[in-house]
Amino acid sequence: MTPLPGEKPANIWVVGVLGGPCDDPPLLTISPRIGMYSYKQMTEVGQFVVNIPTPQMVREMEYCGTHTGAEVDKWQTCGFTPIAGKVVDVPLIAECPVNFECVIERQLQFTRSDGTPGEHELMIGRVVQVHAHERCLVNGELQWDLVDAIYRSRPRSWRTMGPVIGFDERKTKLSKPQEAAELIARRVETFEGLADVIREMPYPTQIRR
Ligand SMILES: Cc1cc2nc3c(=O)[nH]c(=O)nc-3n(C[C@H](O)[C@H](O)[C@H](O)COP(=O)(O)O)c2cc1C
């Protein structure tokens, strides 16, 4: 486990809604409950890392989202490997194929209609480094089809992203790497033992500095 400088080991929690409001500057938004264990850590350090799990990690995801780091060691229980970030002091989860290193840019708190403080805040992180396992890259570009991220759904369920159904070419011409069928086939191949593959192969691949 990679400890934070002079502090307790970094903790893991689950984010239900991840926003990407802006590409330049590259921003990600999360909404942590004010006061929870991870919230205190994040605000003290001023940094966080977003790790994207694969569908095979759904049980670990559930565990990290239903237990508190104040009482359990989620790294140990889930068998996760911490690796040092390139820019931030918070460790990345090596088993997750995509990781975003973020520095907290802004924190917004809100008031309920009855005037009391809202339970969650909107935390905006500036992405300072992106990592993606090479198994999820095609021609150097990240293919979400090969990650198949987990989505929070309702009522109280999780889904996966599913295959690509079209391409947005409004800004620049895309080099469509392959047809959807080929991506789906590759995703199946990627899923087989992805966590083992990630452990064995050099990691992470840098896709942006
Ligand atoms: C699918 C899922 C999504 C979640 N989304 C959020 C969220 O957006 N914000 C939040 O504060 N907690 C969310 N949680 C709950 C936290 O992950 C949970 O309270 C966690 O145990 C907190 O860990 P900690 O006490 O170690 O900080 C979510 C849990 C799950 C399972």
65 ligand 1 Cβ < 6 A? yes
Determine contact, residues 3/84, Cβ cutoff 8 Å: no
Express as a percent the part of the chain with pLDDT over 90. Answer: 56
Express as a percent the part of the chain with pLDDT over 70. Answer: 78
37 ligand 1 Cβ < 6 A? yes
pLDDT over 80 at 7, yes or no: no
* Residue 65 Cα to ligand 1 middle (Å): 5
CA dihedral 109, 159, 150, 38 (to 10 degrees): 40
Q: What pLDDT is recorded for position 6?
A: 54
List the one residue out of 185, 167, 117, 177 whose CA is nearest residue 142: 177
Q: What confidence tens digit (pLDDT) does each residue in 151-170 have? A: 998 888 898 887 777 777 78
Q: What pLDDT is recorded for position 187?
A: 64
Average pLDDT of 42-48? 96
For the four alpha carbons of 162, 163, 166 and 170, in that order, the dihedral sign comes to positive
pLDDT over 60 at 180, yes or no: no
* Residue 173 Cα to ligand 1 middle (Å): 38
List the one residue out of 81, 90, 33, 38 whose CA is nearest residue 57: 81
Average pLDDT, the chain: 84
pLDDT over 70 at 198, yes or no: no
CA distance 118 to 144: 33
11 ligand 1 Cβ < 6 A? yes
Least confident interval from 32-41, 105-114, 183-192: 183-192
CA dihedral 194, 197, 199, 205 (to 10 degrees): -90
pLDDT over 50 at 2, yes or no: no
Strands (E), the chain: 19-22, 27-30, 47-52, 82-83, 92-93, 98-108, 122-132, 137-138, 141-142, 150-153, 157-160, 205-208
pTM value? 0.87
CA distance 11 to 29: 18
* Residue 23 Cα to ligand 1 middle (Å): 25
pLDDT over 90 at 134, yes or no: no
List the one residue out of 132, 130, 136 whose CA is nearest residue 101: 130
33 ligand 1 Cβ < 6 A? yes
Average pLDDT of 9-31? 95
All residues at 6 or more sequence positions from 167 whose CB lies less than 8 Å from its CB, including other chains: 174, 176
CATH fold group of domain 1-136: Pnp Oxidase; Chain A (2.30.110)
Q: Which amino acid is at 54?
A: T
Q: What pLDDT is recorded for position 173?
A: 67
All residues at 6 or more sequence positions from 25 whose CB lies less than 8 Å from its CB, including other chains: 105, 126
Q: What pLDDT is recorded for position 206?
A: 47
More confident residue, 198 or 80: 80
* Residue 104 Cα to ligand 1 middle (Å): 18
CA distance 158 to 67: 18
Q: What confidence tens digit (pLDDT) does each residue in 93-118 have? A: 999 999 999 999 999 999 999 999 99
